[in-house]
Amino acid sequence: MSDELAIETISISKIYGSGNTEVVAMRDASVQVRRGEVIALLGPSGSGKSTFLTAVGLINPPTSGQVRIGGTLVMDGPRAAVNLRSFRRRHIGYVFQKSNLIPFLSAIENVQIAMELNGMTSRAARTRAAELLDELGVGDRLDHSTAMLSGGQQQRVAVARALANHPSVILADEPTAALDSHRGRQVMELFRNVAREHGAGVIVVTHDQRTLEVFDAIYEMEDGVIHQQKRKVESATVPERG
Amino acid sequence: MNLAIKDIRHNLGRFILTVLGIGMLLMIVMGMAGIYRGLLEDATLLINRIDADLWIVQKDTRGPFAEVSRVPKSLVYRVEAVPGIQSSREFVYHTIQRQHNGKPIRMSVLGLSWPVDKGEWLPLISGRALRQNHFEIVADKTLGLQLGERIPLGKETYTVVGITSGMVSSGGDGMAFTTIQDSQAIQFDSSGESVRLERAARDSRGQENELFLSQPALTEQLARPTAELPGVTPPPLSAVIAKVAPGADPLQVEKIISSWGDVSVFSRHGQEELLVQGMVDKAKRQLGMFRVLLTIIAAIIMALILYTLTLDKIHSIALLKLIGAQNHVILGLILQQALLLGGLGYGIAWAVGQKLFPHFPRRVVLTNDDLIQLAVIVCVISVLSSLLGIWKAMRVNPNDALMG
């Protein structure tokens, strides 16, 4: 693990509306994730986890504060300091609770497209996509349409896509929710390996107690505020989703 | 990876049905242009086939195709005597409708200047040209007559000795060709009763005339057939057509004949212009209006379909944006589908049209110019119709991918 920061948020806040209708979704959230580190973000529904994740994922800009990825300032308040779409393509991998696959592409094509968008040739992208899917246990479903995959298989395809471009940041929202314990652990270990091998910072929103031991740190969020931080997890009590 | 093709394969049934619908619509647009070209070709076909340099018609009329024109038979010889004229001949043309085998048959009858013109220039697909002065007829295949079939017209029965192809009048009626004499016999045929009544009327008028009262023998003359009466002119011609001699100035020849007080003269081009402007122009405008309307309807339908296809893909588009797809990838996805929709629809329109148009009652002529013009229009409406979908896609927020 490096001391270099993969992700750093400095007092980011997100406020919707104004005046009487003002809603503070996230307030002064400051988190640091080092390269090679995997952290968990816990909290009840509506606590602001998704707002935080989408702010770090550069798809929902914060109202104030700064987001730095790999030492580069990417968001300064609501203002983008880089080309966000290009930055997302190159540096960020996403895995969401509900599988987010493109229905008109097969399993392998869903992974392949992420690499092709990043400039990789079709052949090379297909080879790597096949390797990733095989590694995640869906190597026998490469050309299946997404509708023919189970929830768990779809989730593994989404994980493979997130890993495809060797991102420096991986953001995952309940990535193991649809997986059995073995696969869930496998995915988390995969995240940890990617984090270690490629120096990526990984933020996982999870409730899966079976996998908590893989995290290097746990952040808890409530009412838009990150108020608890644990490092070196041994056992943790995970609050139930409200 | 071509996302447009992948998406089409995923929704293949719907895409095929849409392409078929657009194709049928474009086929109608294509057919409209073809019908207009057919009208134009039919209208000028006879003039082109007859290949006369000058058309001499009744004074202040627009010729035999536009209105009734009557000129005396002697005009043929007057025209022939004009310096610079190589040859001149009679032109008799009229449209009739008769019952044949219990069905109405409508034909435009053209008289051939026997024996100079036996109809060798006709595009025969079977049989032969005329070989005798009377009772033979060459008919176009659109009339549905068979070779050797006998058809009664007027007081005579004519035998079909030849079948032509593509010889229709500007009104779309199939043409039939006889000698001038037969053509006039058909045109001026009167029933026995009307002949008897005419003779009685003539006799009655004679009884009141001093000349006939003083010379009763003349009264007997009035009872003779009309064609034998010296005081009655032979049946008129529709026009006289003439060829200008090589080296002669057609304008000069035209000027000489135009100076006569009883006729009007048109060049071949002038006669064509009259036909196109007079008879075809309204049809052209009518068909043009339909083409424009159908093209607009096709564009609206395509826009709606592409917009719906885009709405179905909103989540995928948001996801593509989330994983960093550039705008041109999204734009290409929609635009390629629009162009494929238009292109395949055009192909279907052409292919189905090739099979269907020959069965239309009027000729449908597809010219390369019209096909290219429609292809360009289809490209333009494909691009325009995709704008709504593109606009929607460009407004999609990557955040929407998280909405499930």
For B347-379, how does the pLDDT look when each residue is reduced to its tens digit (9 = 90+)?
A: 999 999 999 998 888 888 899 998 998 899 888
What pLDDT is recorded for position B236? 82
Chain A residues with CB under 8 Å of B316 CB are 102-104
Is it the case that residue A238 has pLDDT exceeding 50?
Answer: no
Task: Encode pLDDT of A2-32 as tens digits.
Answer: 568 889 999 999 998 887 788 888 889 898 8
Residue ranges of chain A whose CB lies within 8 Å of a chain B CB? 50, 54, 59-60, 85-86, 88-90, 94, 96, 98, 100-105, 109, 112-114, 116-118, 122, 145, 161, 173
- Whether B388 has its CB under 8 Å from any CB of chain A: the answer is no
* CA of residue B100 relative to chain centroid, distance: 24
Question: How high is the pLDDT of residue A3?
Answer: 67
State the Cα torsion B105-B106-B112-B114 to the nearest 10°: 30
Q: Does B403 touch chain A (CB under 8 A)?
A: no
Mean pLDDT of B238-244: 90
pLDDT for B86 equals 92
> Min CA distance, B320 vs chain A (Å)?
8
Looking at the predicted structure, is the pLDDT value of residue A236 above 60?
A: no
- Give pLDDT, residue A237: 42
CA B18: distance to chain centroid?
33
Is A104 in contact with B7 (Cβ distance < 8 A)? yes
Task: Choose among A118, A130, A126, A137: nearest CA to A190.
Answer: A137
**For chain B, what's the residue count?**
404
Shortest alpha-carbon distance between residue A85 and chain B (Å): 5
Q: Tokens 């005597």, residue? A: B81
Mean pLDDT of the residues in chain B = 85
The yes-or-no verdict on residue A109 having pLDDT over 90 is: yes
**Residue A231: which pLDDT band, with cuts at 50, 70 and 90?**
low
Query: Do B316 and A86 count as a contact with CB atoms less than 8 A apart?
Result: no
Q: Do A109 and B6 touch (CB under 8 A)?
A: yes
- Segments making up each domain of chain B, as ranges: 3-43+280-403, 45-276
Question: Would you state the pLDDT for residue B347?
Answer: 95
**List of long-range contacts for B118-125, beta carbons under 8 Å, 24+ apart:** B119/B162, B119/B177, B121/B49, B121/B51, B122/B49, B122/B162, B122/B164, B122/B167, B122/B177, B123/B164, B123/B165, B123/B166, B123/B167, B124/B162, B124/B163, B124/B164, B125/B163, B125/B164, B125/B165
Residue type, A61: P
- Tokens coding B365: 């002529």
**For position A1, what pLDDT does the model report?**
56
CA distances from A223 to A14, A52, B234 (A): 12, 12, 112
Hey, how many other C-beta atoms are within 10 angstroms of the C-beta on B176?
A: 26
Interface touch B324/A100, C-beta < 8 Å: no
Cβ contacts (< 8 Å) between B1 and chain A: which residues?
105, 109, 112-113, 116, 122
Per-residue pLDDT at A239 exceeds 50: no
By CA distance, what is A88's nearest residue in B?
A: B324
The band of A232, judged by pLDDT with boundaries at 50, 70 and 90, is low
DSSP string, B37-57: HHHHHHHHHHHHHHT-SEEEE
pLDDT score, position A217 = 87
Q: Which residues of A touch B398 (CB under 8 A)?
A: 59, 85, 88
Q: Chain B contacts of A103, Cβ < 8 Å? A: 10, 316
> Using H for helix, E for strand and C for coil, what is the string for B60-83?
CCCCCCCCCCCECCCHHHHHHCCC
Say yes or no to pLDDT of A221 above 70. yes
Amino acid found at B260: W
Residue among A117, A92, A105 at smallest CA distance from B325: A117
Give the mean pLDDT of B24-46.
Answer: 85
**Domains, chain A, ranges and CATH?**
5-231 (3.40.50.300)
Q: Which residues of A touch B5 (CB under 8 A)?
A: none
Name the more confident of A52 and B48: A52
* For residue A234, pLDDT beyond 50: no
Preferred mutation among A54, A96, A102 to probe B, highest tally of B CBs within 10 A: A102
**Residues of chain B found within 8 Å of residue A50, distances taken between Cβ atoms:** 402
Indicate yes or no: CB of A54 within 8 angstroms of CB of B324: no
SS3 content of chain A, % helix, strand, coil (to 5): 35, 30, 35
Average pLDDT, chain A: 83
Pair A102, B318: CB distance under 8 Å: no
Task: Calculate the CA B299 to chain-centre distance.
Answer: 29
Q: Which residue of A has its CA nearest to B10?
A: A104
| Beta-carbon separation of A85 and B10 below 8 A | no
Across chain A, which distance is largest between two alpha carbons, in Å?
A: 55
pLDDT band at B228 (very low <50, low <70, confident <90, very high): low
Cis check for the bond before B230: say yes or no (omega within 30 of 0): no
- Residue range B87-130, pLDDT digits in tens: 898 888 888 888 888 888 899 999 988 888 888 888 899 999 99
Buried b (16+ CB within 10 A) or exposed e, A127-148: ebbbebbebbbbeebbeebbee
| Alpha-carbon distances, residue A140 vs A65, A104, A137, B11 (angstroms) | 45, 19, 8, 24
Higher pLDDT residue, A76 or B402?
A76
Strand partners, B136: B159
Q: How far is A209 from chain B (nearest CA, A)?
A: 24
Residues of A in contact with B402 (CB under 8 A): 50, 54, 59, 96, 100, 173
Question: Tokens 């002065």 belong to which residue?
Answer: B133
Print burial letters for B37-60: b (CB count within 10 Å at least 16), e (below 16): bbbbbbbbbbbeebebbbbbbbee
